[in-house]
Amino acid sequence: MSDNETSAGIGPTGVPIEETPDSDTEVCSREGHLGASGNALLRADEVTAGYLPGVSILNGTDLYANEGELVGIIGPNGAGKSTLLKAMFGLVKITSGSVVLRGEEITNRKAHELVPLGVGFVPQTNNVFAALTVEENLEMGVFLRPRAFKERFSFVTDLFPVLGDRRAQRAGSLSGGERQMVAMGRALMMEPSVLLLDEPSAGLSPAMQDEVFFNTKQINQTGVTVVMVEQNARRCLQICDRGYVLDQGRSAYTGPGAGLIDDPKVVELYLGTLGRASL
Ligand SMILES: Nc1ncnc2c1ncn2[C@@H]1O[C@H](COP(=O)(O)OP(=O)(O)OP(=O)(O)O)[C@@H](O)[C@H]1O
Ligand SMILES: [Mg+2]
């Protein structure tokens, strides 16, 4: 690394998002990122948000997802990945910046207003009703449009046949991987155009993790835009079209998923030991 290459320096393929473009490097300025996001389905611009007054967790975070894209968000623990998804889904208050869906501003719109607009969210934890059956969980997903149940149930069980086989089983008695399918399936019942997934592979065995990544890709291939937060950097970047590295509440790097995997600086600077271990 040369002396003038700071921690905001670039890797061969990942590009940092900065205020000021640097002509010597492949820097993507904020303006450049904003420009590229012109036709995005979902866009977060300079979002500042947090849980307590005066304490920001997101400090001007940018992100966009084009229609049909699979976008991954990686970064160290506490970087604000979950907070970003929750802020876009109206669960954490945004104090400045904006979130735009299909050109319409949705900043601080509540989750129950966003679901009918086509936004689905699968939280990191507690994402199924353990005491309810698989079928009841899926019914909860579509309670706003009960007449759509049959058609959506068959869409979800085509994607996840095991949920059809286990429709009468209580979700709490399923394996972790199956529960994750129920959680994703429930969000899919409302036919979202964009699905926000928070660490769907967390806590699963390696074989089940593979299945979750496969399922996520499959969901995306049905035409659903996916924004996925993941600790498992390599697998996430392998399947996503574009990735973001979030660091201290800011989008530090973005680039094609496959490019970020090979970017040593992304690994070294933003993922550290954890990144090296999972890469
Ligand atoms: N409900 C909450 N109230 C107050 N602070 C919170 C709350 N949830 C998260 N935080 C804080 O916000 C920061 C970012 O948390 P967040 O959960 O967004 O990180 P993350 O990148 O998703 O981390 P992880 O990889 O561990 O899931 C952390 O410092 C965390 O302690
Ligand atoms: Mg998280």
From 81, 88, 247, give the residue whose CB has the most ligand 1 atoms within 8 Å, as the site to mutate: 81
Position 41 scores a pLDDT of 97
Strand residue runs (E) in the chain: 15-18, 28-29, 42-49, 58-65, 70-74, 94-101, 104-105, 119-122, 194-198, 225-229, 242-247, 250-256
73: Cβ contacts below 8 Å, ≥ 6 apart: 63, 81, 84, 85, 227, 228, 229, 230, 243, 244, 246
Is the overall model pTM greater than 0.85, yes or no?
A: yes
| Structure tokens belonging to residue 13 | 């393929």
State which residues of the chain have pLDDT below 70. 1-29, 269-279
pLDDT given for residue 239 in this prediction: 93
For the CA of 86, the nearest atom of ligand 1: 18
pLDDT of residue 17: 62
Pocket of ligand 1 (CB under 6 A): 51, 57, 75, 77-83, 231
Smallest CA-to-CA distance from 117 within 128, 102, 99 is with 102
User: From the CA of 51, which ligand is nearest?
Assistant: 1
What pLDDT is attached to residue 214? 93
Sheet holding 58-65, edge to edge: 58-65, 42-49, 94-101, 104-105
- Dihedral, CA of residue 158, residue 135, residue 187 and residue 90, to nearest 10: 180
Ordered structural domains, the chain, with CATH: 67-90+107-245+253-278 (3.40.50.300)
- How many other CB atoms are found less than 10 A from the CB of residue 264? 12
| C-beta of residue 98 within 8 angstroms of C-beta of residue 47 | yes
Distance 82 CA to ligand 1 centre (A): 7
Q: CA–CA separation, 235 vs 183, rounded Å?
A: 20
Q: Which atom of ligand 1 is nearest to the CA of 83?
A: 18
> 53: part of which helix (H) or strand (E)?
none
Cα 154 to averaged position of ligand 1 atoms, centre (Å): 36
Q: What's the confidence (pLDDT) of residue 23? A: 30
What's 93's DSSP letter? -
Pick from 58, 83, 248 the residue to mutate for probing ligand 1's pocket: most ligand atoms within 8 Å of its CB. 83
CB atoms within 10 A of CB 83: 22
